[in-house]
A and B are shown apart, each in its own frame.
Chain A
Amino acid sequence: MTEAYVYDAVRTPRGRGKKDGALHEVPAVRLGAGVLSALRDRNGLDTAQVDDIIFGCVDPVGEAGSVIPRSAAFEAGYDFRAPGMQISRFCASGLDAINLGAAKIVAGSDDIVIAGGVESMSRVGMGMSGGAWYMDPSVSLPGWFMPQGVSADLIATKYGFSRDDVDAYAVESQKRAAAAWDDGRFKNSVVPVKDVNGLTILDRDEHMRPTTDMQSLASLNPSFVIPGEMGGFDAVAVQRYPELEGINHVHHAGNSSGIVDGAAAVLLGSKEAGAGLGLKPRARIKAFANIGSEPAMMLTGPVDVTEKLLKRSGLTLADIDLFELNEAFASVVLRYIQAFDIPEDRINVNGGAIAMGHPLGATGAMIFGTVLDELERRDLNTALVTLCIGAGMGTATIIERV
Chain B
Amino acid sequence: MTYTNFTLDTDAEGIALLTWDMPDRSMNVFTESVMEELDAILAEVVANDAIKGVVLTSGKKDFSGGADLNMLKRMMAQFEAEKTRDPGNATKLLFENAGLMTGLFRRIETCGKPWVAAINGTCMGGAFEISLACHGRVAADSERVKLALPEVKVGIFPGAGGTQRVPRLADTQAALQMLTTGQTLTPQKAKGMNLIHAIAAPDQLIETAKKMIRDGLKPVQPWDEKGFKIPGGPVYSAAGANLWPPAAAILRRETNLNYPGAAAILKCVYEGLLVPFDTALKIEQRYFTQILQTTEAAMMVRSLFVSLQELNKGARRPAGVPETKFSKIGVIGAGFMGAGIAYVTAKAGIPVVLVDRDQESAQKGKAHSDTLMAEQVKKGRAKPEDKEKLLALITPTADYAALEGCELVIEAVFEDSTVKKAATQAAEAAIGDTAIFASNTSTIPISALAGNSVRPDSFVGIHFFSPVDKMMLVEVIRGEKTGEKAIATALDYVRAIKKTPVLVNDTRGFFVNRCVLKYIAEAYRMLIEGVPAPMIENAAKFAGMPVGPLALADEVALDLAQKIMRQTVRDLGEGAVEADQLKLVDEMVDRFDRKGRKNAKGFYDYPAKPAKKALWPGLKDLYPQKAPEAVDFDELKKRFLFVIAIEAARVMEEGIVTDPREADVGSILAFGFAPYTGGVLSMIDGMGAAKFVAEADALKAKHGAPFEVPQLLRDMAKSNDTFYARFNPYPPEKEAA
Contact = CB atoms under 8 A, between A and B. Distances in A.
Given A238-B538, A242-B539, A245-B614, A146 B236 contact: no
B535 A140 contact: no
A239 B267 contact: no
Contacts of B245: 134-135, 140, 145, 147, 231
A232 B246 contact: yes
A235 B249 contact: yes
Contacts of A235: 249-250, 252-253
A135 B614 contact: no
Nearest to A140: B248
B432 interface: no
Contacts of A137: 244, 247-248, 251, 263, 266-267, 270
A1 interface: no
B538 A236 contact: no
Given A242-B535, A245-B534, A233 B266 contact: no
A191 B614 CA distance: 54
A138 B265 CA distance: 11
A242 B532 CA distance: 9
Q: Does more than half of chain A's interface fall in helix, strand or loop, or is it mixed? A: loop
A343 interface: no
Most central of B245, B267, B631 by chain A CB within 10 Å: B245
A130 B252 CA distance: 22
Contacts of A379: none
Contacts of A138: 267, 270
A73 B240 CA distance: 35
B615 interface: yes
Given A238-B538, A239-B542, A145 B249 contact: yes
Contacts of A242: 534-535, 538-539, 542, 628, 633
B17 to A, nearest CB: 42
A136 interface: yes
Contacts of B236: 130, 135
A135 to B, nearest CB: 5
Given A242-B538, A245-B614, A231 B240 contact: no
A228 to B, nearest CB: 10
Contact of B270 (A127, A136, A146, A244): A136
A243 B250 contact: no
Interface in A142-172: 145-147
Contacts of B248: 137, 140-141, 145
Contacts, number: 84
Which size bracket describes the interface of B in this complex?
Answer: 20 to 34
A196 interface: no
B235 interface: yes
A231 B235 contact: no
Q: Does more than half of chain B's interface fall in helix, strand or loop, or is it mixed? A: helix
B246 A233 contact: yes
B535 A243 contact: yes
Which size bracket describes the interface of A in this complex?
Answer: 20 to 34
Given A141-B257, A145-B245, A239-B256, A231 B614 contact: no
B241 interface: yes
Given A141-B263, A243-B532, A230 B246 contact: yes
B252 A239 contact: yes
A227 interface: yes
Contact of A135 (B244, B253, B263): B244
A236 to B, nearest CB: 5
Nearest to B244: A135
Most central of B241, B250, B252, B538 by chain A CB within 10 Å: B252
Contacts of A233: 246, 249
Nearest to A143: B248
B235 A146 contact: no
Contacts of A241: 628
B354 to A, nearest CB: 42
Interface string B608-620: 0000001100000
Nearest to A236: B249
Interface string A237-268: 01101111100000000000000000000000
Contacts of A136: 244, 270-271
Contacts of B270: 135-138
Given A232-B249, A232-B253, A245-B614, A130 B241 contact: yes
B450 to A, nearest CB: 47
Contacts of B633: 242
Contacts of B539: 242
Most central of B244, B248, B249 by chain A CB within 10 Å: B249
A242 B632 CA distance: 11
B249 A135 contact: no
B614 to A, nearest CB: 6
B538 A135 contact: no
Interface string B554-591: 00000000000000000000000000000000000000
Given A243-B628, A245-B534, A135 B240 contact: yes
Nearest to A241: B628
Interface string B253-268: 1001100000100110
14 contacts: A135-B236, A136-B270, A138-B267, A141-B248, A141-B257, A227-B246, A232-B252, A233-B246, A233-B249, A235-B253, A239-B252, A242-B633, A243-B532, A244-B534
Interface of B: 235-236, 240-241, 244-253, 256-257, 263, 266-267, 270-271, 532, 534-535, 538-539, 542, 614-615, 628, 631, 633
Interface of A: 127, 130, 134-138, 140-141, 145-147, 227, 230-233, 235-236, 238-239, 241-245
Q: Across the A-B interface, give the 3 residue pairs with the lowest CB-CB distance, nearest first.
A: A232-B249, A235-B253, A243-B628
Given A146-B249, A231-B246, A235-B252, 14 more contacts: A127-B241, A130-B236, A135-B240, A135-B244, A136-B270, A140-B248, A232-B251, A235-B250, A235-B253, A236-B249, A238-B538, A242-B535, A243-B535, A243-B631
